[in-house]
A = this chain, B = another copy of it.
Amino acid sequence: MSALSSQEPSPKRRIGAEKSETRALIVDVTEQVIREEGYAAASTRRVALRAGLNPSLVHYYFPSTDDLLLAVFERGAAQSDAMIAAALASNEPVRALWQFFRDDSRTALSVEFIALAIRRPAIREQISAHASAMRAQQIALFERVLGERLAQATGCSPAGLSVILAGVGRALFMEAALGVTSGHDEAIQCVEKWLDALIPSP
């Protein structure tokens, strides 16, 4: 790795060879900075310092701070997509999706990206496009798996259920990150009662 901290980017031929490794290191360090200090701390200069790289090398891969932040978002979105795809492919996709919504492993990062998206249009577009695509996929699943039973049992449409499950799941992990858990067990019981009524036990 010592070549990476040299004053100038390596010659073209070597950059090609090192590209994925250096790029991945930069994205790793940026994610760490966002988690520990917040998105506002994630400048190319700060990331270069923490990664022990020359700022010009970070700039070579990520010309702007938005490029850097987007790379972290895109890697996280790809991880979410893979988790959702696994949930959708499981024997109990609706319950698996609900577990995914309740997952708290990415909380701090998600909140940072929402805060960031509210302020920066370039980031907002990517985040909202990704969120809309995920929602469309979930609505299609609820239509396919729950069908008519959903409206009969709850009075909710597939689209409404999708917003409700995502919202309740997100509330559980955002509040837990703040140390607020009052009512959480009861909300989970309540959602699971609906799901039990909707989905015959296997």
For A155, give its contact among B39, B118, B155, B193 (CB under 8 Å).
B193
Task: Indicate with 1 or 0, residue by residue over A3-45, a CB within 8 angstroms of chain B CB atoms.
Answer: 0000000000000000000000000000000001111110000
Task: Indicate with 1 or 0, residue by residue over A84-108, a CB within 8 angstroms of chain B CB atoms.
Answer: 0000000000000000000000011
Contacts of A131 in B (CB 8 A): 175, 178, 180
Interface presence of A168 (CB below 8 A): yes
Closest CB of chain B to A84's CB: distance in Å?
Answer: 16
For A178, give its contact among B128, B154, B191, B193 (CB under 8 Å).
B128
Once A170-B167, A171-B167 are accepted as A-B contacts, the answer to whether A156 and B38 lie under 8 Å apart by CB is no
Instruction: State the CA gap A171–B165 with chains docked (Å).
Output: 10
Count chain A residues whose beta carbon lies closer than 8 angstroms to a beta carbon of B: 59
For A190, give its contact among B107, B164, B182 (CB under 8 Å).
B164
The chain A residues found within 8 Å of chain B, CB to CB, are 36-41, 107-108, 111-112, 114-119, 124-125, 127-128, 131-132, 135-136, 139, 154-157, 159-164, 166-172, 174-175, 177-180, 182-184, 186-191, 193-194
